[in-house]
Amino acid sequence: MKFLRNLLAAIIGCLIAFGVIFIMFVIFIGIVGSSEETVSIKKNSILELQLKLPISDYVGDNELDPFTGAFMEQSQGLDEILHAITVAKDDDDIKGISINNNFMMAGLAQTQAVRKALEEFKGAGKFIYTYGDFYMQKDYYLASVADSVFINPVGGLDFRGLSSEVLFFKDLQEKTGVKMEVIRHGKYKSAVEPFIANEMSEANRTQIKELIGSLWGSIVEDISMGRGISTADLNIIADTLGGRTPEYAKETGLLDDVIFFDQYEEKLRNAINLKKDDDLNIVALEDYVIRSNKKVLKSGKDKVAVVFAQGEILYGEGGPDVIGQGIINEAIIKAKEDDDVKAIVLRVNSPGGSALTSDIIWREITLAREKKPVVVSMGNVAASGGYYISAGADKIFAEPTTITGSIGVFGTIPNMTELAADIGINAEQVGTNKNSVEYSVFEPMTNEFRGYVQESIESTYNTFLQRVSQGRNMSMAEADSLAQGRVWSGVDAKRIGLVDELGNLEDAIAEAAKMAELSNYGIKKFPKYKSGFERLMEDLGGASAKVKQEFIEEEIGTEAYSILKQVKSAMEQEGVQARMPFVLDIK
């Protein structure tokens, strides 16, 4: 029996090995066969902007990796999208852009960055048309930059203003017997509020209202410029749901016409003076990116390094969606020690996380700043730990819709005393010293232990304030008055001195080059993540876990699964947290 079991295992192992070798061979042949291929763009073409994947600031493929692009990407790089639009602006073969039925999976600041690039495209004298079966608010915000906006006759347009929903779990804790012990510093540090209350505090309600009010103000101002409708009228349209049907949306001026897609294609033909029987040359964005990536817009021996830090901040190596001190500090050190690199831009897109990791990265930034100018560009969010690592820079840029600030810290520790009692579990501890048993989830938290944790929270908060005070050239008292865990929009953050300028990544790069006294320079991006093949192997290794997650989400629904993830995330947090004050779900 043992012999048969071993023989079967050997056979299965051989089959797997041969299968992997075969797949690798097919991929290699495909890469070799396509290595010389280029994307051919016909004259009189239209670039189609159809954003199908979630948008990350940076995908981080290594151009020297032979497997780059050989596997399906899980996200699309904002840097590549913006670069493609910029190249298309001066490409004689591209006559215009068609934005076709998007469902934007991007943050507000990313959407605003794409919109600004499209404005510059129009400035070159080229047209932009957009068509949608329906427009969600973020989709319409992007579409409003177009010369003409069209919608399907049975479609819909959502334009109602921004809102945010916060879930509270106090009653759930009482029913399950699993409680989150909370220690925090910050009047507005409400990441933990859902675990200690059943309703929103006035402080939290105030900051959310002012935050989304500022974000909405930026959106409405841009739409007003694009559509020629006053901000007052746009708010009336939102209040009355004046765009809720295609006909109403046309009457209020939100869009230009209600037509079918074949009629939209005819309008594209007319825009480039095509005859009825002529082929309409549509170029997909993903194809055009291949062509545009071969065109370098900035070149020179001197470089400005752009280090992308995106995702939660967790202790460890990090990766494409996680900021760890390992990969980020390695990138900063490489940029600092590269003689060709004369300035560094840190692109931050993070809600925060580990306070320890944030401080380790902050230290590396301050060391780099001693040798070269360091400028921060903030993306969708650079809050709490995201702001912590930004505070060490010479200068900070934020988009008007960036969510930033949140200078405060907290700690959450699960406690299962009531659950244990309900199901008949009694835990007994034995130790050698008074504090050798630090904490047990099966025993009530002692005042003494809570005091130690509070001491750690206060120490981390004071350190955070020192970093902000030093970096922003303000007193500790001034920093504290802007802190307390409160979040701000980019517009308000500039007003109160937490950021220096409103602008995008390109603006930050230009400022870094100016500080380094560069006229001709190239861009060098960091870090380089694992290859597509390596990530594929890791995905296959974690396939079981992914299948389980997908199964649970399908069975209980997306909203319930989102709640489950929030609770799970809170229970898994280790150490003092410099994290966003709440899960901000802006709708």
Query: What is the three-class DSSP state of 313?
Result: strand
Q: Are residues 310 and 245 in the same domain?
A: no
Which residues in the chain come in under a pLDDT of 70? 1-39, 61-73, 186-191, 530-587
Of 408, 243, 327, the closest CA to residue 60 belongs to 327
Q: Are residues 275 and 129 in the same domain?
A: yes
Segment (H or E) for 179: strand 179-185
Q: Are residues 103 and 247 in the same domain?
A: yes
- First-last CA distance in the chain: 61
Per the omega criterion (within 30 degrees of 0), is the bond before 527 cis?
Answer: yes
Apex 576 CA angle, 571 and 581, nearest 5 = 75
Determine if residue 191 is left, alpha or beta; phi over 0 gives left, psi from -120 to 50 gives alpha, anything else beta.
Answer: alpha
Q: For residues 50 and 73, is the Cβ–Cβ distance under 8 A? A: no
Q: Which two tokens stand for residue 66?
A: 């032979």
Return d(Cα 345, Cα 524) in angstroms, integer: 10
As for how many domains the chain has, the answer is 2
C-alpha distances in angstroms, 49 versus 150, 219, 360, 522?
A: 15, 20, 40, 27
Segment (H or E) for 129: strand 127-135
82 lies in some domain? yes
186 lies in some domain? no
DSSP state letters, 30-81: HHHHHTT------SSEEEEE---S-EES-----TT-TTTTSS--SSEEHHHH
Of 584, 585, 581, 583, the closest CA to residue 182 belongs to 581
The sign of the dihedral angle between the CA atoms of 51, 57, 63, 68 is negative
Which pLDDT tens digit goes with each residue over 188-228? 555 678 888 888 888 889 889 999 999 999 999 999 999 99
Determine if residue 83 is left, alpha or beta; phi over 0 gives left, psi from -120 to 50 gives alpha, anything else beta.
Answer: alpha
Q: Are residues 272 and 397 in the same domain?
A: no
Active-site residue set:
189, 384
Provide the pLDDT for residue 335: 98
308 lies in some domain? yes
Return d(Cα 98, Cα 268) in angstroms, integer: 8
Q: Are residues 245 and 362 in the same domain?
A: no
Provide the pLDDT for residue 291: 87
Q: Are residues 483 and 405 in the same domain?
A: yes
Return d(Cα 569, Cα 227) in angstroms, integer: 42
Residue 412's DSSP bridge partners are 182
349 lies in some domain? yes
Q: Are residues 260 and 372 in the same domain?
A: no
Of 380, 348, 312, the closest CA to residue 106 belongs to 380
Provide the pLDDT for residue 35: 41
Provide the pLDDT for residue 421: 86
Residue 49's DSSP bridge partners are 99
C-alpha distances in angstroms, 281 versus 45, 131, 274, 396?
A: 5, 17, 10, 42
Per the omega criterion (within 30 degrees of 0), is the bond before 351 cis?
Answer: no
Segment (H or E) for 283: strand 282-284
180 lies in some domain? no
Residue 310's DSSP bridge partners are 349
Tell me the CATH number at 60.
3.90.226.10
Return d(Cα 249, Cα 243) in angstroms, integer: 4
Single residue among 257, 272, 292 that ends a domain in this structure: 292
Strands 577-579 and 352-354, how do they pair?
antiparallel
Q: Are residues 278 and 307 in the same domain?
A: no
339 lies in some domain? yes
Q: For residues 374 and 394, is the Cβ–Cβ distance under 8 A? A: yes
Return d(Cα 513, Cα 345) in angstroms, integer: 10
Q: Are residues 380 and 472 in the same domain?
A: yes
C-alpha distances in angstroms, 181 versus 439, 445, 473, 576?
A: 12, 8, 36, 13
* Angle between helix 325-337 and 355-369 (nearest 10): 0
Query: What is the three-class DSSP state of 232?
Result: helix
Which pLDDT tens digit goes with each residue over 87-136? 999 999 999 999 997 789 999 999 999 999 999 999 999 999 999 999 99
pTM assigned to the model: 0.83
433 lies in some domain? no
- Would you give the DSSP letter of residue 150? E
Task: Please give the biggest Cα pair distance in the chain.
Answer: 89
- Would you give the DSSP letter of residue 164? B
Range of the domain at 268: 45-160+241-292
Return d(Cα 186, Cα 389) in angstroms, integer: 19
Q: Which two tokens stand for residue 451?
A: 């005091």
Q: Are residues 255 and 394 in the same domain?
A: no
Which stretches within 183-324 are classed as H helix? 193-196, 202-227, 231-239, 246-251, 261-271, 285-292
CB atoms within 10 A of CB 215: 24
Residue 76's DSSP bridge partners are 55
Q: Are residues 462 and 340 in the same domain?
A: yes
Single residue among 496, 530, 564 that ends a domain in this structure: 530
Could you give the count of Cα atoms lying within 13 Å of 503 in the half-sphere of its Cβ? 17
Q: Which two tokens stand for residue 533?
A: 């093949």
Single residue among 503, 530, 557 that ends a domain in this structure: 530
C-alpha distances in angstroms, 230 versus 170, 224, 226, 323, 535?
A: 44, 6, 10, 41, 49
Provide the pLDDT for residue 560: 55
Q: Are residues 57 and 86 in the same domain?
A: yes
363 lies in some domain? yes
